Amino acid sequence: MISVFVYGTLLVGEGNHFVAAPYVQSVQSGTINGRLFDVGPYPALLLTEGNAEQHVVGEWLEVTEDGLQAMDVLEGYYGPGASNNEYDRVWIRDVDGQREGWVYVYPSVAGLKAIDGSSWKEYDAARSK
């Protein structure tokens, strides 16, 4: 199984979870060091290793290799260093140190609005009111 930390539309109950759902073996909540930014219909993640003040809450999905490939397609990830990647896929560790795996990060958040708080679900629900 492959661990992937998700924090936006791939979360259980969100609009793109259906992409991963057929391949998910387990789901556990998690938290990583980072900051979310608003791209419109989905968030971007900036990792903030070493900054304990900025956290992102999400879920660790345990998926099959086919699940990782399906998420790569959704996230526009074509391989390490590919010039046409929309997101990069990098290795990350949960703040509790108990879990590690892949996460999709946006290559540049320049010009994007930072999201207050640590949860895309809460932010998205509040802006929809």
The sign of the dihedral angle between the CA atoms of 68, 104, 58, 95 is: positive
75 belongs to the catalytic site: yes
Between CA 47 and CA 55 the distance in angstroms is 9
List all residues 6 or more positions away from 106 whose beta carbon is below 8 Å from its beta carbon.
Answer: 37, 39, 44, 45, 46, 87, 88, 112
Spot the catalytic one: 53, 75, 86, 100: 75
* Sequence letter at residue 128: S
Q: Which residues participate in catalysis according to the annotation?
A: 75
